[in-house]
Structure 1
Amino acid sequence: MYEPIRTKSVDRMQADYPHRSREEELDIQLAGHLSALLAVTDELGLDEAGERIAEQVARLRGAPPARHAGLTTADPGVLHRRAHAIAGRALVVAASRADTAAAILAAERMDVHSAALEPAGAH
């Protein structure tokens, strides 16, 4: 009376695709945030900080990151605000995956960019 189902159920179809663990997803997300922070850091010309960030990206991805080669004429204040926001996102992800090294680095970068945005003599 009823036609038999001839296709796989959705549950069985999903089993055919590889799934990443939560930790793998967080690693990918953290590496992405740190890569974005690296691009802004390179744009600001902060070489030492860039090297530290690149080390963390390489650790997470297993390969060294592509580096931003040239400086732009972007306003440094805008770049520091962008870097501060990106470092904040990296800190949240690093904390959720319990990555102490990346969390410390992100917090340090937030402090540096926050200080760069303060008016001279305002402490």
Structure 2
Amino acid sequence: MYEPIRTKSVHRAMAGTPHDFPRRSREEELDTQLAGHLDALLAVTDELRAAAPSADLDTAAERLAEQVTRLRGGREPARASATTSGSAPCVTALHRQAHALAGRALVVAASRADTVAAILAAERMDAHTAALESRELASR
């Protein structure tokens, strides 16, 4: 049978007052989420640049890095070098992954009302959609 809790929470007692825990605002949480999505998109973009270099990907990577730096208060993102060696990644899979990440970033940017990041994410979605369509047409 159910028995009501009669004692105070151990966690609250250990913390003293409820204000002892660091709290982040909704804006700070959205900034963190958006920076994470854009950083992941940057990592995939860097992988694509290594696998299939293009000026569009170079420009996109720089713009993504600028946004991540802005959202993280000046801390620059870690970047993979363009000469990363290893097994050749599947470019189609990377474009799909980048498209999905750009979509996630777009949703968070829209809820945060960050127009610059939303436009960048939408442009990246369009670019990866076009790349996927051209690869699909080329394989026919």
TM range (shorter): 0.7 to 0.9
Partner in structure 1 of residue 26 of structure 2: 22
1:57 corresponds to 2:62: no
Give structure 2 stretches of 5+ with no counterpart: 1-6, 50-56
Shift of residue 47, structure 1, vs aligned partner:
1.6
Distance change >3 Å, CA 94–CA 6, structure 1 → 2: closer
Give structure 1 stretches of 5+ with no counterpart: none
| Percentage of identical aligned residues | 65
Partner in structure 2 of residue 10 of structure 1: 12
1:120 corresponds to 2:137: yes
**Which consecutive aligned stretches of 4+ in structure 1 deviate over 4 angstroms post-superposition?**
5-9
Shift of residue 93, structure 1, vs aligned partner:
0.2
1:92 corresponds to 2:93: no
Out of 68-77 and 105-114, give the one that drifted further: 68-77
Shift of residue 13, structure 1, vs aligned partner:
4.1
Partner in structure 2 of residue 35 of structure 1: 39
Residue type matched to 1:22 in 2? Answer: R
RMSD: 2.3
Residue type matched to 2:111 in 1? Answer: S
Paired positions, count: 117
Distance change >3 Å, CA 113–CA 19, structure 1 → 2: same
1:79-99 Cα deviation digits (max 9, x unpaired): 000000000000000000000
Residue type matched to 1:65 in 2? Answer: P
In structure 2, C-alpha distance between the alignment counterparts of 1:7 and 1:38, rounded to whole Å: 43
> TM-score, normalising length from structure 2?
0.76
Shift of residue 14, structure 1, vs aligned partner:
3.1
